[in-house]
Amino acid sequence: MSGYGVENLPYGVFSSGDGVRRIGVRLGDDVLDLSPLGDDLVRQPTLNPLLAAGRTQWTALRDRVTEAVRRDEVTRVPLREVTLHLPFEVADYTDFYSSEHHATNVGHILRPDQPGLRPNWRHLPIGYHGRAGTVVVSGTPIARPHGQLGPGEFGPSRRLDIEAEVGFVVGVPGARLGTGDFADHVFGVVLVNDWSARDIQAWEYQPLGPFLGKSFATSVSPWVVPLAALPTVAAPHQDPVPLDYLRPAGSGFDLRLAVDWNGTRVSEPPFAQMYWTPAQQLAHLTVNGASVRTGDLYASGTVSGPARGQSGSFLELTWNGTEPVKLDDGSTRGFLADGDTVTITGTAPGRDGDPIALGEVVGTVVG
């Protein structure tokens, strides 16, 4: 099938002719309207009430939808007839930096005279707080950001980039969560493109970290794939042994991303090799007493593997523009040009041989 079989059943928000937003589940190339199947939790314009309801309700609803699909007792709307919306109201947004390969590459590019990894990197999941209000759904055009590009220099970014990431959607609020609390608090995953203006970022990031170079837009895929649909893998070995609050590490996820630049496949980043797990990220995010809320989104950080063709950013893929990539139309690129379209897709291996599709997050740059 298409990756949207009965083992997947991701949740989204759609509207059709009447413009009313409804919760739906994707099955093949159709959207299942959940309103006949559920209670008030699913007769909503966003997923937030369902997210807040907790794991017992998530499981019950998934069982109910699965059973209705097997009996063919569902209301289908063709995907081509609907508009997909931001599936949940984003509360707070945090972005981590948990790929060792990405962090090492970026270190070498930005600080060539120093070791790639900073001394703290293996001790804690590095992250920053992003801007929830500029998280947009896949398909939203991305306006090229303007800003300070260096001393006395202002204008449109000339080094506009992507970051291919996986985002985790928090359902149940909490604080001081342990790694073992992950599956009770996190509902599912989306694909994320953390659009990044490298020239703005390079000028502004010291000493407080990313700011306007990233806050202009963050795109997410329209389907939230429940954790229940995803196969887990052992997390990578961690050295040094993390502090107690980051143990046990919890699972990694075998998610395989792909990045298409104007239709040319340029990269296939492997999520399974991420150093810090999403359970450790959640524990770290709340260890100081900070709470997470329903609708919080925290992203993994750019997913990059060891090979150039596994880069989750064009900064790495083209080594800061010094090694441009050739696209299928014969043109070359270092960073994004106006009119360029980037599509990030992802799959996980399915239990029955049919992969679990993570949907896609697509965006076109406008000047």
Which position among 102, 108, 237, 284 bears the catalytic label? 102
Residues from 242 through 301 that contact Mn ion (CB under 5 A): none
Least Å distance, CB 224 to Mn ion, is 19
Nearer to Mn ion, 8 or 318 (CB): 318
Per the DSSP assignment, residues forming a β-bridge with 298 are 94, 168
Q: Which residue is nearest to Mn ion (CB)?
A: 194
7 lies in the site for Mn ion, by CB under 5 A: no
Stretch that binds Mn ion, among 40-48, 89-97, 169-177, 215-223 (CB under 5 A): 89-97
**Percent helix, strand and coil across the chain, each to the nearest 5:** 20, 30, 50
100 lies in the site for Mn ion, by CB under 5 A: no
Rounded CA separation 28/31 (Å): 8
Stretch that binds Mn ion, among 36-44, 103-111, 189-197, 318-326 (CB under 5 A): 189-197
Q: Is 183 exposed, middle or buried (0-12, 13-18, 19+ CB in 10 A)?
A: middle
Number of Cβ within a 10 Å radius of residue 349: 14
Whether 108 sits among the annotated catalytic residues: the reply is no
* Cis peptide preceding 248, ω within 30 of 0: yes
Rounded CA separation 331/295 (Å): 40
Q: Is the dihedral of CA 300, 301, 305, 311 positive or negative?
A: positive
Nearer to Mn ion, 161 or 360 (CB): 161
Least Å distance, CB 82 to Mn ion, is 30
Stretch that binds Mn ion, among 20-28, 67-75, 186-194, 329-337 (CB under 5 A): 186-194
Least Å distance, CB 95 to Mn ion, is 4
Q: Is 303 exposed, middle or buried (0-12, 13-18, 19+ CB in 10 A)?
A: buried
Among 33, 92, 161, 163, binds Mn ion (CB under 5 A): 163
- Tell me how far the alpha carbon of residue 278 is from its chain's centroid: 12
Question: Residue 99: phi, psi to the nearest 5?
Answer: -90, 120
Nearer to Mn ion, 222 or 301 (CB): 301
- Pull the structure tokens for residue 315: 């900064």
Least Å distance, CB 5 to Mn ion, is 31
Nearer to Mn ion, 50 or 274 (CB): 274
Nearer to Mn ion, 92 or 194 (CB): 194
Least Å distance, CB 269 to Mn ion, is 12
Rounded CA separation 134/145 (Å): 13
Least Å distance, CB 302 to Mn ion, is 5
Nearer to Mn ion, 11 or 261 (CB): 261
194 lies in the site for Mn ion, by CB under 5 A: yes
Among 7, 92, 95, 260, binds Mn ion (CB under 5 A): 95
Alpha carbon dihedral 82, 361, 171, 63, in 10-degree steps, equals 60
The amino acid at 29:
D
Q: Which residues are catalytic?
A: 102
> Interface with Mn ion by CB under 5 A: which residues?
95, 163, 194
